[in-house]
Amino acid sequence: MNFDYLLLAVAIVLFASVSVPEAESHGLFTDILADYVHEGSVDYKSLCTDERLNRYIRQLAETNPDTIASDEARLAFWINAYNAYTLKIICDEYPVKSINDLHFGGLIVGTVLKKTVWDKDLVEINNRKTTLNTIEHKIIRPIFKDPRAHFALVCASKSCPPLRPEAFEAENLDEQLDDQGRIFLSDEFKNSFDIEKRQAHISKIFDWYSKDFGGRDEKVLEFLAGFLPEDIANKISSDPKSWKVRHKDYDWSLNDYKPETKQPLPLKGGKLWTTMNQKISSVLPRWESSGMS
């Protein structure tokens, strides 16, 4: 009889040792991202035909985040969930030019009526329906209070922070978030700094969510200085109030990866040259709303 109890105890220990890491591990998502994310852009055409994304979505849907052991693991879970479901939402409608095409009535009307894709019950966690807005504005921001999460949440648009080619994991989360901040702020299309003129042209994210970064412009700049090159950081830290802050227009066009395609052009003598087509997306302002990510 004692032997039976011993076997039961061993079985319980083994089950716990397997199930908890599986709930907290995002290796499958890393495999997916490594295959389809290129310098922050996504090869949606290929991704949307890969069944692994649906497998990872099912993993999220069946996970109870309340059972996850640490704050770091829970934050990593919610960031990954937000990004994975955003990818799924795009894939469900692909091809699209912008995530704004998926809102009822477009960005403005959808925001006013709370009928954007961020408001819809398109997310399932622990077998319960929820929304992307709930994840961002009722869980990640108020519970974890880490402004660096804004560097990690990706809304499938070109002005968003780049999608990382790996999932966020508890053991590396601090380093990953810091790295995301450095990468995002080093992209001059999204954030630029003029030392001589003391001008900062930064993402609208730091306008919409300024309170998360300290509130006033100088406080936001002081926070950002921690992710900037030393020369810029020193100039800001020495006198942050002397800097003028402007916010860049937000490019909502899809962060779609387009591999280089060469098209032959006939020239004199029958010779062929090649050229690469490039598309320049229109820049659309982002409307301030607590319901947008």
Angle at 156 between CA 33 and CA 213, to 5 degrees: 100
Mean pLDDT over all residues of the chain? Answer: 87
**Residues 238-262, mean pLDDT to the nearest whole number:** 91
pLDDT value for 260: 72
pLDDT value for 273: 27
pLDDT digits (tens, 9 = 90+) for 51-86: 999 999 999 999 999 999 999 999 999 999 999 999
**Distances from the Cα of 271 to the Cαs of 43, 261, 275, 277, in angstroms?**
32, 19, 13, 19
Cα–Cα dist 74/139, whole Å: 10
What is the domain partition of the chain in residue ranges? 2-172, 192-247
pLDDT value for 4: 57
pLDDT band for position 258 (50/70/90)?
confident
Cα–Cα dist 77/69, whole Å: 11
274 - beta bridge partners? Answer: 264
Q: Is the pLDDT of residue 245 over 60?
A: yes
Considering the entire predicted model, what is its pTM? 0.83
